[in-house]
Structure 1
Amino acid sequence: MDTEGTHDAPHTASPPPHGAHRAEPTVPRPAAPPAAPAGPPAIPPPPAAPPAAGPAAGGPETAEPPVLRWLRTPRPAAAPGIWTYGHRPKAAVDPERAPLRQLVSGAVISLLCGWLLWSLLWNNYLGSYWLWPLLLLTPDSWRTAGGDTVAFAWATYLYYGLFLALMVFVFGRLGRWRELARRLGGPLVARLRERAPAAAPEPAADRAQWPELRAAGAPDAADKLAAEARAGRMNDVDVARIERAWRSVRSGTNPLASFTDTVLRHGGAACAHPSGRRDLPGRTAHHDLLAHQVRIGVAPDHPRNPPQHRGAGLALEPRLLGTSLLAVGPSGSGKTSRVLKPVVESMCLQALAGQCAVVAVGPAGADLGPDDAFDVVVRIGRTGQDSDLDLYGGTTDPDEAAGILAEALVGDLPDHQRRGATALGQLLGPFRTAHDRFPSVPELRELLDGAPEPTAALRAALEAAGASALLRELDARTRQSERAGDVGVLLADRIALLDRPAFAGFFDPTGRTRQVSLRAVDHPLRVRIELPERGHAEASGILARLILAQFTECAVARADRSLFACLVLDEAAHTITTEALRGLQRLRSANAGVVLTLRALDDVPEGLRSALLGAVGCRMAFAGVTTWDGARFAEVWGKEWVETRDVTDRQIIAVSAAGKAFHMFRQLVTGKAATAKAVTVRTVERERWSASDLANAVPPGHAVLSVTSVRGEHAPPVLVDLGK
């Protein structure tokens, strides 16, 4: 069955990896009442082995498999960037809502006042006026000797009860007892609800019963998958992968009969990834593959955070990364370990589910995941490698290859980029026509240097092929190389950085090595590329620009954009150019995105710093950024209207002798002069996060994150605790 880049895996006798979620709540959590405080659900680790299917013989029924609890956990709609798995939305904040401390003190004072009044009335300290209604409504004969004392006693107790109820009502309204009870009782009820066993969902609404398959006429496949889940033979990757295959059936790409047959034969292993893997060797972050999210931290209860974000988990997902993410922070601030690694892990899991293609690029030693988590690992400059990088991005168009290569070689010099693309095109086109391939790095260097023998051999091959148009291109290149200031000299110097003994076995276009082309991002591929950082810093910069240029070109040129394509580039210094920014902006409509990290914005040319922050939709400033970097973030995040209170103390000057004496006595007792406070309330415009706050008020292990979705939804900057 064609499942958009996946194929059916053969049935294996060994059980697949299990654990629907790396960490799952104990029970499904219903949405809490609006007054309940929001916060991340408790997440215990998954069981080491899958539970047996059904109850054991003569024993109690086993626990429900984690995948069923994961499927049934609610995921309410939330603002962009909020972790929706088990999320409990907060009610809108009432600006006139009284503080809890004020409610408690008011209730206690009103209770004491009511008690005091009742005591005074009961002991006749205030006279018997409050008994006049009782005396007026009862006969005098009940109160005389020999009267009906029993009836009068009942009437008296009834009157006392009504009067006491009236006092409770009056003082309860004054003390706002009802609001206090609601404020204190809401969280208590929400704990009680969490501990209560959740009712089993109806079959039509139970995702574990695959209702969409049943409604579309595939009940046999739904029964098979439901049985696999109950037996613990499925995990979250299996569910996401089969749902992806089912979407291809609904769109008309694959027939229903083929899908049903594949599911009935292979169960939870149906439509497997080409690698045959159904999970990663190990997970370090919390993932929700139904919502395509990875959790990166929690928004603390900070006054700068929006009320609906406080206490909620924060997550990243393709609809946010499709606008690209820029993370800026010094070394050791947690960019790689707490953001990039979880994002790469999430993209790899989604690639196994047939939903994503990921390319992770970083210097040698960067912890972007183990080798087993990727399909291909390219270590440039390391001997004994069986994988190579295609220098030309898998294209057969000489002009496209020349533009990509010129961006890599001289993209950091805007005045030379266009001339460099023209010069390279004058050589790549003739060489491909003559040899049916593009030149290797040594061959290209010789041609750019204007060596006579390679140029003469290329001219002879073109004459033999009768390619007169390409001969004119080669002659034009020869004439330009004789002029002073020819860009070919600069290109030759830059390409010489890749023509080193350490790279002798790389960038070979002859087909003797297994070359990785970024044109394969239309398949669920997992690639990690290690750049030679030590001793080859300039070569690493060229290769990073090359990979970024290839990715932006190939992602936009895809015919099938159903897969999300993600490039993760760790330490993207000296890779941001004018053409790179244009490419980033085109990725939003191509279902692709780039994740970039920088130690500081100083690694970007000064004229492009503001443009970079404007080109990406998700921005992240880590603890330790400088004030001048913080000023750039503060500028792009803008300002907001806030209410400020100015309190001033004015000394009270007494006129009378008694007043002066009282003020003197008060000053002797308290040590302070008698003053009166004046409060001025104003609405002013203030920066959401100032440069000073970003540089000095962000605690270690925290970052400030703002996100934007590809649909234009956005969330204000939120302080994130990356350690939770």
Structure 2
Amino acid sequence: MDTDGTHETRPPRTGQIPRPASPPPPGLPPKPAHAPVAGPTLEDWLRVPRTSDGPGVWSYGHVPRAAEEPEVTPIRQLISGALIALLAGLLLWSLLWNGYLGGFWLWPLYMFTPDSWAGTLPSVVAAYVWYGVVALTLAVGFGRLGRWSELARRIVGSRAARAVQAVVPAARPEQGGPEDAVRWPQVRGAGLVEAAERLEKEAGAGRMNDVDYARIRRAWESVRVDPSRLRAFAEAVRDKGAGACVHPSGARDLPVRAARHDLLARQVLLGTVEDGPRNPYARRGTSLALDPDVLGTSLLAVGPSGCGKTGRLVRPVVESLALQALAGQAAVVAVGAAGAQLGPDAAYDVVVRVGDPASVYDLDLYGGATDPDEAATLLAEAFVGDVPGIDVRRAATALAQLLGPFRTAYDRFPAVPELRELLDQVPDVLDGLRRALDDAGQHTMLRELDARERQHGAPADPGPALADRVALLDRPAFATFFDVGGFDTTGQGRPFSLRTLEHPIRVRIDLPERGHADASRMLARLLLAQFNAAAAARTDRSLFAFLAFDDASHTLTPGTVRGIQRLRSANAGVLLTLRTLDDVPEALRTPLLGAVGCRMAFSGVTTWDGKRFAETWGTEWVETRDVTHRTVFADQPLTRAIHAFRKLVTGKAVTTDAVTVRQVERERWSASDLAHAVPPGHAVLSLTSVGGERAAPLLVRLAGAATG
């Protein structure tokens, strides 16, 4: 039950979940630094209402806004109108009081007071009462005419509201009700009153954090699916309290958080939508967040170096999914160059440093595949998927003609040096393979080997190109990597395979971009191809699987772009960052923008990249106003004299304005606007949820510290 009931399947060839890259910190888990935010306790954090009126809305305490912007009269116009109404009211009262308009307004007083009251106190009282009624009527009438109430609300009301807000503390949520999340009503409803009370006490005593709550709630959801786990759940809570159903690594929180998270809604705060005319009124000033619902459609971000892609996007997203992995909700793999600021080693279960002899973990070149045809397809995509003129399917066939016989003969796939020798058709290696197949009676595989030998050296043979690409991995720096089960003589290799995505695992893969750029790009293509295959092949898709590339330059191929389109149905997604779309083959730029559901243009993109985004985001109908100024020519002498005097004083001729209002179709964001009108630290982001909801491109002020 401690594994949340989702970890029964073992990762291939390892026999167990990979241990954490470093031991978790001892003692109680640290209180979250950002979610819940400093100040509210876990109980208050749970009781804050969460509402959302569109994809990307930070639902924690969100208050929906009106869909359309109300018409707001300028404050100067309100003041002048109120002053004119006041003067008009005083003038009318003066005329009435001094009798310039006659005594008609006193008729009701004469009609309802008897003549016997003349000169008595009741007569005086009745007269002043009537004067007050008339004055009040004038005040109400001219007040409405001058919009005094709106002026008071705009000037006095806002200040009073701020003063009250500063003095009166924020109201605490309603608590203690039957649906209070702190009291675990569903657990109580299932008859586990003791377990619910234990969890409630853990939260009240400060021994439970947001990760604990999300993890135990996830475990309870598995109990609802499989009631046979009910007893194990109750025993785990009874024995360990907030530490029940803990992640296999034993960690209950990350060592540090660089962003603000809401694990109850599975969101990470990305920034704030700018309060300006560029954005829809309903989204202005609201907080923007990312969650699996939008990341499941995959995200492409483009921006130059130094614009903040790593610190303001990649790390917060990876951090959020790492927290969700600790809660048993997700599996995340982060890929970046060695030294990329993607979080400390202690925040991951597996850290693969390709090319570093001190790396604890190795990378499975074949991605855990056991079928030669599948392994050949993945390798062909990585090796020659970016080479113009080479058919990936022919390359996959050529590799399968070697991998199939080799696995049949030796019960494993070839290591990198062996694969290079097979592709180069080294006679001694091929002769040894033939003897092994002949001794085993594998005549079918011998025919495969013969077919590869006949095709070797033909004009369209992909073998030489494959051999050249394999040679990039057959270097001394990678001598102890890509263990294939027994070939590595060091005995230290612990190969990691993306087949472990069925477990809530946190992985970081560091590529040797500085010294081996071509090999790093090839490995990045391999990882993307393996992720697409592994995510689609999962039998249990309850975990959200995510792959984040800190730099996806020269990583995409036609096959991997097609694979990205299928990820949303597999409860998976990818994050791809690029310095420019020029790092993607021209034929793939439009398909790539169409394959992802979320697109992000950082400050500093070029007009060429902006043009692609502008075409993708399309156009919208907007209302425009054209004002035409026309000079007024007077016919009457007096009018002409007045106009001449006015021109002499102001220096401008008397004109009239003709306003034309029309609907026109314009780009939501033009290429020029994206290149020149996005301030530093901002980005334009469009979102699409897995369910099909869309958010128009929004100008967002990003949070976090930029690191690359």
| CA–CA distance in structure 1, aligned partners of residues 323 and 196 of structure 2 | 23
**Structure 2 counterpart of 1:669:** 649
**Structure 2 counterpart of 1:264:** 238
Structure 1 residues 551-590: Cα deviation after superposition (integer angstroms, max 9, x where no partner): 0000010000000000001110111111011100110100
1:530 aligns with 2:510: yes
**Change in CA separation of 1:19 and 1:121 when aligned onto 2, cut-off 3 Å:** farther
**Structure 2 counterpart of 1:496:** 471
**Structure 2 counterpart of 1:402:** 376
Structure 1 residue aligned with 2:532, among 542, 552, 556?
552
1:306 aligns with 2:286: no
1:332 aligns with 2:344: no
Decide which moves more: 700-709 or 126-135.
126-135
| CA–CA distance in structure 1, aligned partners of residues 92 and 516 of structure 2 | 87
**Change in CA separation of 1:325 and 1:191 when aligned onto 2, cut-off 3 Å:** farther
1:154 aligns with 2:125: yes
User: Quick check: 1:294–1:346 contact (8 Å CA) kept in 2?
Assistant: yes
| CA–CA distance in structure 1, aligned partners of residues 360 and 33 of structure 2 | 34
1:658 aligns with 2:638: yes
**Change in CA separation of 1:535 and 1:15 when aligned onto 2, cut-off 3 Å:** closer
Deviation of 1:632 after TM superposition, in Å, equals 0.8
1:294 aligns with 2:294: no
**Structure 1 counterpart of 2:66:** 91
| CA–CA distance in structure 2, aligned partners of residues 211 and 467 of structure 1 | 63
| CA–CA distance in structure 1, aligned partners of residues 25 and 500 of structure 2 | 32
Structure 1 residues 71-93: Cα deviation after superposition (integer angstroms, max 9, x where no partner): 11111122110111111211232
| CA–CA distance in structure 1, aligned partners of residues 672 and 642 of structure 2 | 47
Amino acid at match of 1:90: R
**Change in CA separation of 1:568 and 1:187 when aligned onto 2, cut-off 3 Å:** farther
Structure 2 residue aligned with 1:18, among 30, 38, 43?
30
| SS of equivalent residue, structure 1 residue 250 | helix
User: Quick check: 2:437–2:446 contact (8 Å CA) kept in 1?
Assistant: yes
Amino acid at match of 1:531: L
**Change in CA separation of 1:78 and 1:16 when aligned onto 2, cut-off 3 Å:** farther
Aligned residues: 681
Amino acid at match of 2:306: G
Amino acid at match of 2:122: A
1:3 aligns with 2:4: yes
1:223 aligns with 2:197: yes
Amino acid at match of 2:411: D
Decide which moves more: 250-259 or 633-642.
250-259
Deviation of 1:534 after TM superposition, in Å, equals 1.2
Structure 2 residue aligned with 1:438, among 413, 420, 423?
413
**Structure 2 counterpart of 1:36:** none
**Structure 2 counterpart of 1:419:** 394
Deviation of 1:68 after TM superposition, in Å, equals 1.0
Structure 1 residues 238-259: Cα deviation after superposition (integer angstroms, max 9, x where no partner): 0000010011011126521211
| CA–CA distance in structure 1, aligned partners of residues 129 and 116 of structure 2 | 18
| SS of equivalent residue, structure 1 residue 654 | coil
Decide which moves more: 99-108 or 635-644.
99-108
1:198 aligns with 2:172: yes
Structure 1 residues 655-689: Cα deviation after superposition (integer angstroms, max 9, x where no partner): 12111111111011111111111111111111111
**Structure 1 counterpart of 2:13:** none
| SS of equivalent residue, structure 1 residue 255 | helix
Structure 1 portions without partners, runs of 5+: 25-42, 47-64
| CA–CA distance in structure 1, aligned partners of residues 569 and 153 of structure 2 | 48
Deviation of 1:100 after TM superposition, in Å, equals 5.2
User: Quick check: 2:361–2:494 contact (8 Å CA) kept in 1?
Assistant: yes
**Structure 1 counterpart of 2:143:** 172
| CA–CA distance in structure 2, aligned partners of residues 608 and 699 of structure 1 | 29
User: Quick check: 2:273–2:699 contact (8 Å CA) kept in 1?
Assistant: yes
Deviation of 1:379 after TM superposition, in Å, equals 0.8
State the superposition RMSD in angstroms.
Answer: 2.2
Deviation of 1:109 after TM superposition, in Å, equals 3.2
**Change in CA separation of 1:111 and 1:208 when aligned onto 2, cut-off 3 Å:** farther
Structure 1 residues 213-258: Cα deviation after superposition (integer angstroms, max 9, x where no partner): 1122221111000000000000000000001001101112652121
| CA–CA distance in structure 1, aligned partners of residues 480 and 289 of structure 2 | 41
**Structure 2 counterpart of 1:79:** 54
The list of structure 1 runs, each at least 4 consecutive aligned residues, that deviate by more than 6 angstroms after superposition, is: none
User: Quick check: 2:35–2:262 contact (8 Å CA) kept in 1?
Assistant: no
Amino acid at match of 1:314: L
User: Quick check: 1:6–1:272 contact (8 Å CA) kept in 2?
Assistant: no
TM-score, length-scaled by structure 1: 0.90
**Change in CA separation of 1:335 and 1:160 when aligned onto 2, cut-off 3 Å:** same
User: Quick check: 1:213–1:222 contact (8 Å CA) kept in 2?
Assistant: yes
Amino acid at match of 2:340: A
- What does 1:83-122 correspond to in 2, within 5 Å? 83-93=58-68, 96=71, 98-99=73-74, 102-122=77-97
| CA–CA distance in structure 2, aligned partners of residues 254 and 331 of structure 1 | 53
**Change in CA separation of 1:196 and 1:281 when aligned onto 2, cut-off 3 Å:** closer
Amino acid at match of 2:315: K
| CA–CA distance in structure 2, aligned partners of residues 75 and 23 of structure 1 | 14
User: Quick check: 2:69–2:281 contact (8 Å CA) kept in 1?
Assistant: no
Structure 1 residue aligned with 2:610, among 615, 626, 630?
630
Structure 2 residue aligned with 1:608, among 578, 588, 602?
588
User: Quick check: 2:176–2:183 contact (8 Å CA) kept in 1?
Assistant: no
| SS of equivalent residue, structure 1 residue 311 | coil
**Change in CA separation of 1:76 and 1:111 when aligned onto 2, cut-off 3 Å:** farther
Decide which moves more: 245-254 or 595-604.
245-254
| CA–CA distance in structure 2, aligned partners of residues 357 and 502 of structure 1 | 29
**Structure 2 counterpart of 1:587:** 567
Amino acid at match of 2:213: V
**Change in CA separation of 1:462 and 1:260 when aligned onto 2, cut-off 3 Å:** same
Decide which moves more: 195-204 or 153-162.
195-204
**Change in CA separation of 1:564 and 1:509 when aligned onto 2, cut-off 3 Å:** same
1:506 aligns with 2:506: no
**Structure 2 counterpart of 1:284:** 258
**Change in CA separation of 1:101 and 1:342 when aligned onto 2, cut-off 3 Å:** farther
Q: What percentage of residue pairs aligned between the two structures are identical?
A: 61
Higher relative contact order (CA 8 A, sep 6+): 2
1:209 aligns with 2:209: no
User: Quick check: 2:33–2:257 contact (8 Å CA) kept in 1?
Assistant: no
**Change in CA separation of 1:93 and 1:106 when aligned onto 2, cut-off 3 Å:** farther
| SS of equivalent residue, structure 1 residue 559 | coil
| SS of equivalent residue, structure 2 residue 566 | helix
TM-score, length-scaled by structure 2: 0.92
- What does 1:562-577 correspond to in 2, within 5 Å? 562-577=542-557
- What does 1:137-152 correspond to in 2, within 5 Å? 137-143=112-118, 147=119, 149-152=120-123
User: Quick check: 2:279–2:699 contact (8 Å CA) kept in 1?
Assistant: yes
Deviation of 1:156 after TM superposition, in Å, equals 1.2
Structure 1 residues 512-549: Cα deviation after superposition (integer angstroms, max 9, x where no partner): 31001001011011000011111311111100000000
Structure 1 residue aligned with 2:423, among 433, 437, 448?
448
| CA–CA distance in structure 1, aligned partners of residues 25 and 680 of structure 2 | 48
| SS of equivalent residue, structure 2 residue 391 | helix
**Change in CA separation of 1:404 and 1:199 when aligned onto 2, cut-off 3 Å:** closer
| CA–CA distance in structure 2, aligned partners of residues 202 and 102 of structure 1 | 50
Amino acid at match of 2:429: P
| CA–CA distance in structure 2, aligned partners of residues 102 and 90 of structure 1 | 26
User: Quick check: 2:333–2:509 contact (8 Å CA) kept in 1?
Assistant: yes
**Structure 2 counterpart of 1:682:** 662
| CA–CA distance in structure 1, aligned partners of residues 354 and 170 of structure 2 | 56
**Structure 1 counterpart of 2:41:** 66
Deviation of 1:128 after TM superposition, in Å, equals 3.6
Structure 1 residues 641-662: Cα deviation after superposition (integer angstroms, max 9, x where no partner): 1111111110001112111111
Structure 1 residues 166-209: Cα deviation after superposition (integer angstroms, max 9, x where no partner): 21221232223445556664895588477243253242121111
| CA–CA distance in structure 1, aligned partners of residues 213 and 584 of structure 2 | 42
**Change in CA separation of 1:191 and 1:366 when aligned onto 2, cut-off 3 Å:** farther
Structure 2 portions without partners, runs of 5+: 9-16
| CA–CA distance in structure 1, aligned partners of residues 525 and 700 of structure 2 | 31
User: Quick check: 1:21–1:235 contact (8 Å CA) kept in 2?
Assistant: no
Structure 2 residue aligned with 1:367, among 315, 323, 341?
341
**Structure 1 counterpart of 2:619:** 639
Structure 1 residue aligned with 2:523, among 540, 543, 547?
543
Deviation of 1:308 after TM superposition, in Å, equals 1.3
| CA–CA distance in structure 1, aligned partners of residues 150 and 422 of structure 2 | 83
| SS of equivalent residue, structure 1 residue 721 | strand
